[in-house]
Amino acid sequence: MRQVVHIFRKEFSTYFVSPIAYIVIAIFLLVTGWFFFSTFFIFNQANLRTFYTLLPIVFAFVIPAITMRLISEEINVGSDEILLTMPVTFRDVILGKFLASVALVVAMMIPTVAYPLTVSFMGQLDWGPVIGGYVGAAFLGAAFSAVGLFASALTRNQIIAFIIGLAICFTLTLIDKMLYFLPQSLLGVFSYLGADFHFQNIAKGIIDSRDILYFVSVCFVGLYAAYLTLLQRH
Amino acid sequence: MIQVKNLTKYYHTLCAVDQINFDIKKGEILGLLGPNGAGKTTTLRMLTGYLQPSSGSIFVKGLSVDAHILEIKKILGYLPESAPLYHDMLVFDYLNYVAAIRQINGDQKIGRIRQLADLCGINEVMHQPIGELSKGYKQRVGLAHAMMNDPEVLVLDEPTSGLDPNQIVEIRKIIKEIGKEKTIILSTHILSEAEATCDRIAIINQGKIVADDSTESLKRSAGGKHIMYLSLQDADFSAVQNALEGINGIEGVTRISETPNTLDISLTYQPTDDLRPDVYRKIKETDWILLDFHQETRSLENIFRELTRES
């Protein structure tokens, strides 16, 4: 477990040594800030609904950009040979990198606390859904990070890793909105697969074990797939 | 210390390493020698647990690489070919990270990093990003990485590739120094390097070990015939041939090239006697002018070429 911490620390600080973290955070804040406040005064309601409606789709773009380099860069440079011949296991490597990505997502969300604070000055803000939304965002960020990490393990090319990660996250986000293509019998199953559906449940301020279970399962499946991919490579 | 038994590795259908066997004793420096693509790197990668062998087994200190890889990694230091390090990290941060993973803590850590920086001569680049270092410095940082845990077994894949001649001498000195107490296995395609640093040499070709012996006895076993080269002026080949074949021990005289002025020939003979005085005396009796006269000693290079020639 100690090795996970060392790898986490190294990966997390690498984000801030290179310009990646700053660029990703800046773009994220710009996009969410603009879309949220540009319609905020039209709706004239003191809540964060538009912000949370938007969040899954923005995450689907931003998180694969965070995770794309985690494993593919190692494979490309060849540094995986150095990492994996030190006394660490695949599990340590994957968990460490996963946690670094989740930590960056959390770091990215921290400045957005300014949104509810601003809103609370203007009207009566219900803090329940706001806190639910942040909890949901953490789960959603973790699930997409696991998916992105898997995409990164698939290829040595970061761009391809990004596109694969984006494709999966995007599908997970929108799958319950494409349901009218599907026969009635499959509706239930597919709406359960939608990340947006579960996130919006939590963002209403209702923390349901089914939604938590969904995100935990996505994390597990993503990380286990990444593990198998690495194992296969060796 | 290390036993390798029937080790085989297939990449899809390509057989990179084919049923190789060797043992390394404690404190020995073994050189894996072979042309490009012979299977040196693949062998080392399996030894360090980076690649899974297709079949066969490897034991380090009696522990099987299959079952006890984590314990083995703890006593093993590995420098991969061309030192693939994290480009965006500073050298110090990188060594600090390696020390943490190697579970060297607190005061010991800084001490160990200083010690390695002195040993490998990287003090002046400690605060530069690895990506901006020259190849030689990268190689040294890689070496410092490999020695961080004071490993009992040090595995080096082409440790001197890309270094300038001064650095090569330094790195060899370091290897020799460490090799007094540690077991080292290194791969190279530079013969003089293997000759200068290794106690034992295993020559690999097309995935098979074709020779495995101490450096000294390999050179001795080179055996075969010795060759002497002569370059003469104002000489006629048939006259030369007649004169020299008369010497007891000379087995053949061959013409290499002939221009109106000079004649180049080679003489083959058994290495038991030194025939140079006889040849010289013979030439002194005539009025040929001797331009060049040298004997080829069969070095490792010949053995290597003979064993690894494309069949």
Q: Taking CB atoms and an 8 Å limit, are A85 and B76 in contact across chains?
A: yes
Which of A18, A82, A234 faces B80 most closely, judged by CB atoms? A82
């039209």: which residue's tokens?
Answer: A42
The overall average pLDDT reported for chain A is 88
pLDDT number for residue A145: 95
pLDDT number for residue A167: 94
Specify which residues B299 forms β-bridges with: none
Q: Taking CB atoms and an 8 Å limit, are A2 and B80 in contact across chains?
A: no
**pLDDT tens track for A179-215:** 777 777 777 777 778 888 888 888 888 888 888 999 9
Q: What H or E segment, with its residue span, contains residue B4?
A: strand B2-11
Which of B73, B84, B97 faces A78 most closely, judged by CB atoms? B84
Please list every residue in chain A whose beta carbon sits closer than 8 Å to the beta carbon of residue B153.
none
Q: Taking CB atoms and an 8 Å limit, are A7 and B101 in contact across chains?
A: yes
Q: Taking CB atoms and an 8 Å limit, are B70 and A84 in contact across chains?
A: no
In terms of residues, how long is chain B? 311
pLDDT number for residue B298: 58
**pLDDT tens track for A80-99:** 888 888 888 899 999 999 99
Of B51, B68, B88, which to mutate for an interface test with A (greatest number of A Cβ within 10 Å)? B88
Of A1, A13, A70, A82, which to mutate for an interface test with B (greatest number of B Cβ within 10 Å)? A82
Which of B73, B84, B101 faces A79 most closely, judged by CB atoms? B84
Which of A86, A88, A234 faces B51 most closely, judged by CB atoms? A234
Which sign does the torsion angle of CA B233, B235, B238, B241 carry?
Answer: negative
Q: Taking CB atoms and an 8 Å limit, are B88 and A17 in contact across chains?
A: yes
**pLDDT tens track for B129-167:** 998 988 888 888 888 898 888 888 889 988 887 778 887
Region A124-130: what's the mean pLDDT?
A: 85
Of A126, A96, A135, nearest in space to B100 by CA: A96
pLDDT number for residue B197: 83
Q: What contacts B293, CB < 8 A, 6 or more positions away?
A: B228, B229, B230, B231, B276, B279, B280
More confident residue, A224 or B269: A224
Quick one: what percent of chain A has pLDDT higher than 90? 47
The overall average pLDDT reported for chain B is 83
pLDDT number for residue B221: 64
**Model confidence band, residue A25 (pLDDT cutoffs 50, 70, 90):** very high
Residues of B with CB under 8 A from a CB of A: 45, 48-52, 70, 73-74, 76, 78, 80, 82, 84-89, 93, 97-98, 100-103, 142, 145
Give the chain A residue nearest B48 (alpha carbons): A85
**Model confidence band, residue A176 (pLDDT cutoffs 50, 70, 90):** confident
Asked if residue B6 lies in contact with residue B19, where contact means CB atoms within 8 angstroms, the answer is yes
pLDDT number for residue A26: 93
Which of B70, B76, B78 faces A89 most closely, judged by CB atoms? B70
Distances in Å between the alpha carbon of B141 and those of A218, B84, B119?
40, 10, 11
Q: Taking CB atoms and an 8 Å limit, are B103 and A2 in contact across chains?
A: yes
Q: Taking CB atoms and an 8 Å limit, are B73 and A86 in contact across chains?
A: yes
CA pair distance B35, B306, nearest whole angstrom = 12
pLDDT number for residue B297: 60
Contacts of B159-165 spanning 24+ positions with Cβ under 8 A: B159/B79, B159/B186, B159/B188, B160/B188, B160/B190, B160/B193, B161/B81, B161/B82, B162/B82, B162/B135, B162/B136, B163/B135, B163/B136, B163/B139, B164/B136
Q: What contacts B184, CB < 8 A, 6 or more positions away?
A: B28, B29, B30, B153, B154, B155, B156, B175, B178
Regions of chain B where pLDDT drops below 70: 219-225, 271-272, 297-300, 310-311
